[in-house]
Structure 1
């Protein structure tokens, strides 16, 4: 059964439903606070009629005591209601953030398509926060409505005319506020979209700062970010203008409603229909109306922004995976049968630049793949990693198509180490053992990848700190640590993509020998044009125009194939 596609409304409903207990308690306590606030003018009117007018000191003391108790109740209701509301909003925000991260890192992938990493971060932070605030706004809005209802009931009991002014005017005001929130919702969505893009561009530029400085591209980068930031600013200003217009218009309409209630109350007091205390209560209630009505205007604005953010979150959650982890019936796909022998077969694979590619890798073989076009090498890597399934043809592991295997389970047996693999903040040791699950000694992997030489230059050896994305290391050091991480994982099948482009020729030869020795008996595919790596391979496949045109040892292909010599030795 296919799960329903998330929508902005379903995201909001789910967030509220998951926090329904706290939402109910917060709304109840907030309603108590608003009801108490509405009753304060009523109590003051009673004090005037029963104590002040008759100069009754005893009654005055009693009613002042009642007022004091009422204020204590108001304070406690507000304090605990606000605490409960904040807790519900924070937990909903956290749950959404976790859900988004789980979807982004899901084995099936797909969310990164068409989005920069910074945009996903912005959605998981700012948009999730706005949805959390929407839950708080829902509770506050419920409390404000209860305050308005209490005010209307009291005014109706005092005077039907006064009550009708409030009961008829409030829905009209709420309806106008809802209409005014529509432009704000649209502009808020655009604001968040541009803010996310600006954040993504900034993160992208910071990540490539060293390269930009090397090629003198700082002016172009600054211009790009300035343009993006200006567009984000304009979107923010448009949203702010929409919010200011909504708030100002609702405030003006609220003032008209309050003035009407005060005017009607004054005329009723003048002709003796209500007492002096009731007039004071009516005026106080009319002034009290300003608070709930302003609150409802704020609630409308927050809900509009929350709906826009929820729609952006739903868009990420609804992104179809690049590769499915379930079959057509919705059942989870199985993992590879154990033990994995490591036989790979590509038959008629068409994907990107690959054109009916046929390739076989025997169990335990060290195969080199030399592609004349780097784009075709990247397409092959993507198919082997099951980053996406081929447009046509099949990729098989031990005779089973990869498309019939769960991607997460597959990657515990088949590891593809891409050329631009990142390191993580921590230590050299923690980076090397990140995929090893503590099952083996990382020493041999570090020796094979040439990391032991790197450790001699670092102050604390394997315990030396590695900054974000490995920026504290040189390019060659980062590449060797990433290679050691792939080797230390000890997968039955390992695919390496240009693992030594940033190291010198002597080190490259040592690493090539280390890979062959460490991976003996296990299937290894090295996609590269490095002569040092290809020379240690059992067999090399030449990939030209998206298909294999020749296979043989490195020396054989050098001797008989001009295209191979041009790709590898030039």
Structure 2
């Protein structure tokens, strides 16, 4: 079960070679920085005080070499650390994508699509950035050790002060980072929710305008964005407080080191050059402590993001996964026994291979819950579903969906050409022209400037509702699955086009099992048999003509 800690650990272990190399190079940089004041002190004692030109030249050359080494090592370390950071973030994005697209589902439960996008981008990047922090955190620690050793050589009290004072200071920085971690997690959560709401509103903009709900939508987003802003400001205040506290602590510590060094110089325990070196090392210590403050703050945010990433990776699947696969050429017989899910209450239903069955549900919720079970979006609370005598639960969900395709009436289109959308699910694009004709989508193509090669905007927003619906139906027909379940495929088309689609649908699906979940009389008239869902169970059944004459409830549901 992934946890925030395990996500961070895996992100680091996967890039350990790059992190190790970056840490070594960054440590060389910090060690070189610590040597600079020491070399300056030596120049004062051996060249300036004595007036030796040769010593001055020699140590200036040494100083130049140190500067060159520390400069080059920093550049290479930063490059390696950035590469490790980006590779880890990319790996996390791939893991999150695989989990979201897992046929068993579950990752999207309780989350808006925009929230998942935010986790896969912002949170994954923050977790990956840990690999950019660690090398410099290690380098800061090495810099402290080097400065402590150098101070010990200059003066034992100074060295001991640094060695003994650093652990408590690091512990205090860890404590100061706790509030930042909590508020960063809240900030990311609110930002993800705001992103999800925005995506939701934009995708439904046409519907919102149609029902005149723009004001309510704006008010909802305003509240959500204000909550996100408040969380961001709280996190920013925590970050500022964190950095301020760290700077204050390190400032006091460095001041103490400088004062102790000055007293030692005044008492004659160390030379002028050693005093300069000690003061320089005390000033150098500000660098490692600033690194620690930066690393600690970023780690606090990364831990919060890792927890959010782990919550997606650890999401429980909504359906169980079997290992079996349907037959290479399934007959297409469906059998439902005692299916209970949502509004369905012990539904028994048999669909013969090759049958064109109509299902009428006066309650839209029953239709939706039936589609969820047939599409394996969820497992029923009780009961069983079988394809050719094999239980759905014994079959791999991905393989099952290749045999049983559920086409929702509000299916989205992809960005690309109209033809690309139709052949998206077909095997090699075969039958696309026939599917376009059967769904009356050929008429849509004729009205477009470049026919079937006209580019369609994201989600098909460049098409009308009826045009989108016909193209989506053509896509389902072109896939030519052994079992096709279609939900209200003609609600946005005119009566003449609907009648044409009804006749074509029967012909193109001849010999294949087809379930039409609809209340359209034109479609139901073409079916072999109609089953009415009554209270979540199978009720009256027969041909469309018989039910129209014999069942008042059916007439009300279909003809009113």
Task: Please give the range of the TM-score, normalised by the shorter of the 2 chains.
Answer: over 0.9
1:155 Cα offset (Å) = 0.6
Aligned equivalents of 2:363 and 2:136: distance in 1? Answer: 61
1:302-355 deviations in whole A, cap 9, x for unaligned? 1111000000000000001111225xxxxxx11112321000000111111111
Decide which of 439, 443, 457 is 2:447's aligned counterpart: 457
Aligned equivalents of 2:62 and 2:56: distance in 1? Answer: 10
Pair 1:246-2:242 in alignment: yes
Pair 1:127-2:117 in alignment: no
1:418 Cα offset (Å) = 1.2
Pair 1:569-2:555 in alignment: no
Pair 1:517-2:513 in alignment: no
Aligned equivalents of 2:152 and 2:408: distance in 1? Answer: 74
2:14 alignment counterpart = 18
2:113 alignment counterpart = 117
Aligned equivalents of 1:139 and 1:58: distance in 2? Answer: 38
Aligned equivalents of 2:374 and 2:383: distance in 1? Answer: 13
Pair 1:479-2:465 in alignment: no
1:514 Cα offset (Å) = 1.1
Aligned equivalents of 2:410 and 2:23: distance in 1? Answer: 51
Decide which of 261, 264, 279 is 1:265's aligned counterpart: 261
Aligned equivalents of 1:214 and 1:372: distance in 2? Answer: 25
1:131-174 deviations in whole A, cap 9, x for unaligned? 01122111211111111111111111111100111112211111
Matches within 5 A, 1:503-542: 503-542=493-532
Pair 1:170-2:188 in alignment: no
- When normalised by structure 1's length, the TM-score is 0.97
Matches within 5 A, 1:132-281: 132-281=128-277
Say how many residue pairs are matched. 560
Q: Is the partner of 1:364 in helix, strand or coil?
A: coil
1:113 Cα offset (Å) = 1.1
Pair 1:30-2:26 in alignment: yes
Decide which of 54, 71, 80 is 2:67's aligned counterpart: 71
1:48 alignment counterpart = 44
Aligned equivalents of 2:347 and 2:205: distance in 1? Answer: 38
In structure 1, the gaps of 5 or more residues are: 327-332
Aligned equivalents of 2:106 and 2:472: distance in 1? Answer: 24
* Deviates most, 527-536 or 161-170: 161-170
Aligned equivalents of 1:519 and 1:258: distance in 2? Answer: 82
Aligned equivalents of 2:156 and 2:503: distance in 1? Answer: 95
Whether the aligned pair in 1 keeps the contact of 2:423 and 2:429 (CA below 8 Å) is no
Aligned equivalents of 1:287 and 1:540: distance in 2? Answer: 85
Q: Is the partner of 1:411 in helix, strand or coil?
A: helix
Aligned equivalents of 2:34 and 2:503: distance in 1? Answer: 83
Aligned equivalents of 1:562 and 1:427: distance in 2? Answer: 45
Give 4+ residue runs of structure 1 displaced > 6 Å after superposition: none
Aligned equivalents of 1:334 and 1:25: distance in 2? Answer: 47
Pair 1:390-2:380 in alignment: yes
Aligned equivalents of 1:115 and 1:319: distance in 2? Answer: 11
1:204 Cα offset (Å) = 0.8
Pair 1:309-2:300 in alignment: no
1:437 alignment counterpart = 427
Aligned equivalents of 1:370 and 1:216: distance in 2? Answer: 31
1:329 alignment counterpart = none
Aligned equivalents of 1:512 and 1:55: distance in 2? Answer: 104
RMSD: 0.8
1:439 Cα offset (Å) = 4.8
Aligned equivalents of 2:10 and 2:41: distance in 1? Answer: 44
Aligned equivalents of 1:178 and 1:80: distance in 2? Answer: 29
Aligned equivalents of 2:215 and 2:49: distance in 1? Answer: 78
Q: Is the partner of 1:516 in helix, strand or coil?
A: helix
Aligned equivalents of 1:59 and 1:17: distance in 2? Answer: 47
Aligned equivalents of 2:321 and 2:80: distance in 1? Answer: 39
Aligned equivalents of 2:117 and 2:419: distance in 1? Answer: 28
- When normalised by structure 2's length, the TM-score is 0.99
Pair 1:470-2:460 in alignment: yes
Q: Is the partner of 1:356 in helix, strand or coil?
A: strand
2:58 alignment counterpart = 62
Q: Is the partner of 2:348 in helix, strand or coil?
A: strand
Aligned equivalents of 1:366 and 1:441: distance in 2? Answer: 20
1:458 Cα offset (Å) = 0.2
Aligned equivalents of 2:89 and 2:227: distance in 1? Answer: 27
In structure 2, the gaps of 5 or more residues are: none
2:87 alignment counterpart = 91
1:537 Cα offset (Å) = 0.5
1:39 alignment counterpart = 35
Decide which of 357, 376, 398 is 2:366's aligned counterpart: 376
Aligned equivalents of 1:462 and 1:532: distance in 2? Answer: 27
Aligned equivalents of 1:438 and 1:45: distance in 2? Answer: 77
Aligned equivalents of 1:532 and 1:262: distance in 2? Answer: 91
Decide which of 473, 483, 489 is 1:493's aligned counterpart: 483
Whether the aligned pair in 1 keeps the contact of 2:429 and 2:478 (CA below 8 Å) is no
Decide which of 410, 417, 425 is 2:400's aligned counterpart: 410
Aligned equivalents of 2:199 and 2:336: distance in 1? Answer: 37
Aligned equivalents of 1:361 and 1:242: distance in 2? Answer: 62
Aligned equivalents of 1:122 and 1:357: distance in 2? Answer: 40
Aligned equivalents of 1:107 and 1:446: distance in 2? Answer: 28
Q: Is the partner of 1:526 in helix, strand or coil?
A: strand
Aligned equivalents of 1:239 and 1:263: distance in 2? Answer: 36
